[in-house]
Amino acid sequence: MPEAIQFPAGFLWGAATSAYQIEGAPLADGAGPSIWHEFAHTPGCTRAGDTGDRACDHYHRYREDVALMGALGLNAYRFSVSWSRIQPDGRGAVNRRGLGFYDRLVDALLAQGIQPMLTLYHWDLPAALDRRGGWLNPDSAAWFADYARVLFRALDDRVQHWVTLNEPWVVVDGGYLQGVLAPGQRNVFAAPVAAHHLLLAHAYAVQTYRAEGRHRIGLVVNLEPKYPAADTSADLAATMRADAYWNRYYLDPVFLGAYPPELAEIFDTAWPKFPAADLEQIRQPLDFLGVNYYSRQVTRHDPADWPLAAARVRQPQQVHTALDWEVYPQGLTDILQWVTSRYGPLPLYITENGAAFYDPPQASEGVIEDPLRQRYLRDHLRAAYAAIQAGVDLRGYFAWSLLDNFEWAHGYAPRFGLVHVDYATQQRTPKASAHFYSRVIASQGAALSSITPP
Ligand code: FCB
Percent of the chain with pLDDT over 90: 96
Determine the distance separating the centroid of ligand 1 and the alpha carbon of 170, expressed in angstroms.
9
Backbone angles phi, psi at 428, to 5 degrees: -100, 135
Alpha carbon nearest to ligand 1 atom 4, residue: 407
Q: Is the pLDDT of residue 46 over 90?
A: yes
Strands 216-223 and 161-166: parallel
167 flagged as catalytic: yes
For residue 145, give Cα distances in angstroms to 148, 156, 171: 5, 15, 18
Task: Quick: pLDDT tens for 273-318.
Answer: 999 999 999 999 999 999 999 999 999 999 999 999 999 999 999 9
Helix (H) or strand (E) segment spanning residue 150:
helix 140-155
Q: Which amino acid is at 159?
A: V
Q: Which atom of ligand 1 is nearest to the CA of 18?
A: 9
Q: Which atom of ligand 1 is nearest to the CA of 220?
A: 8
Residue 294 domain flag = yes
Contacts with 316 (C-beta within 8 Å, 6 or more apart), sequence order: none
pLDDT of residue 435: 98
Instruction: Identify the burial level of 365 via C-beta atoms within 10 angstroms of its C-beta, where 0-12 means exposed, 13-18 middle and 19 or more buried.
Output: exposed
Instruction: Identify the burial level of 123 via C-beta atoms within 10 angstroms of its C-beta, where 0-12 means exposed, 13-18 middle and 19 or more buried.
Output: buried
CATH for 284: 3.20.20.80
Percent of the chain with pLDDT over 70: 99
pLDDT of residue 450: 85
Task: Quick: pLDDT tens for 113-163.
Answer: 999 999 999 999 999 999 999 999 999 999 999 999 999 999 999 999 999
Q: Which of 57-71, 179-193, 359-373 has the lowest average pLDDT?
A: 359-373
Helices (H) and strands (E) in the chain, counts: 16, 13
Q: Which atom of ligand 1 is nearest to the CA of 167?
A: 8
User: With bands split at pLDDT 50, 70 and 90, how would you rate the model's confidence at 3?
Assistant: low
pLDDT of residue 361: 87
Instruction: Identify the burial level of 261 via C-beta atoms within 10 angstroms of its C-beta, where 0-12 means exposed, 13-18 middle and 19 or more buried.
Output: exposed
Instruction: Identify the burial level of 420 via C-beta atoms within 10 angstroms of its C-beta, where 0-12 means exposed, 13-18 middle and 19 or more buried.
Output: buried
User: For the chain, what is the domain count?
Assistant: 1
Q: Is the pLDDT of residue 363 over 90?
A: no
DSSP string covering 7-42, please?
A: PPTT-EEEEE--HHHH---TTGGGPPPBHHHHHHTS
Q: What is the Cα 366 distance to its own chain's centre? A: 29
pLDDT of residue 451: 76
Between 452 and 299, residue with greater pLDDT: 299
Q: Which of 167, 224, 326, 407 is catalytic?
A: 167
Residue 118 domain flag = yes
Q: Which of 23, 224, 326, 352 is catalytic?
A: 352
Q: Is the pLDDT of residue 454 over 80?
A: no
Least Cα distance to 76 among 122, 117, 18, 22 occurs for 117
Q: Is the pLDDT of residue 396 over 70?
A: yes
Alpha carbon nearest to ligand 1 atom 10, residue: 407
Task: Quick: pLDDT tens for 202-213.
Answer: 999 999 999 999
Q: Which of 146-160, 357-371, 423-437 has the lowest average pLDDT?
A: 357-371
User: With bands split at pLDDT 50, 70 and 90, how would you rate the model's confidence at 362?
Assistant: confident
Considering the chain, what is the average pLDDT of its residues? 97
Please say whether the beta carbons of 56 and 24 come within 8 A: yes
User: With bands split at pLDDT 50, 70 and 90, how would you rate the model's confidence at 169?
Assistant: very high
Least Cα distance to 150 among 60, 88, 108, 200 occurs for 88
pLDDT of residue 364: 85
Least Cα distance to 354 among 273, 259, 298, 437 occurs for 437
Beta strands, E only, 168-320: 216-223, 226-228, 288-293, 297-301, 310-312
Instruction: Identify the burial level of 1 via C-beta atoms within 10 angstroms of its C-beta, where 0-12 means exposed, 13-18 middle and 19 or more buried.
Output: exposed
Determine the distance separating the centroid of ligand 1 and the alpha carbon of 352, expressed in angstroms.
8
d(CA 116, CA 17): 12
Please say whether the beta carbons of 109 and 102 come within 8 A: no
Q: Is the pLDDT of residue 168 over 60?
A: yes
Determine the distance separating the centroid of ligand 1 and the alpha carbon of 376, expressed in angstroms.
16
Q: What residues flank ligand 1, with Cβ below 6 Å? A: 18, 21, 166-167, 170, 222, 292, 352, 400, 407-408, 416
Determine the distance separating the centroid of ligand 1 and the alpha carbon of 244, expressed in angstroms.
21
Residue 58 domain flag = yes
Residue 408 domain flag = yes
Mean pLDDT of 215-232: 98
Residue 1 domain flag = no
3 flagged as catalytic: no
Residue 41 domain flag = yes
Residue 7 domain flag = no
Question: Which domain range does residue 24 map to?
Answer: 12-449
Determine the distance separating the centroid of ligand 1 and the alpha carbon of 18, expressed in angstroms.
9
Beta strands, E only, 294-340: 297-301, 310-312
What region does 315 belong to: left with phi over 0, alpha with psi -120 to 50, or beta?
beta
d(CA 165, CA 428): 29
Q: What is the Cα 299 distance to its own chain's centre? A: 23
Residue 340 domain flag = yes
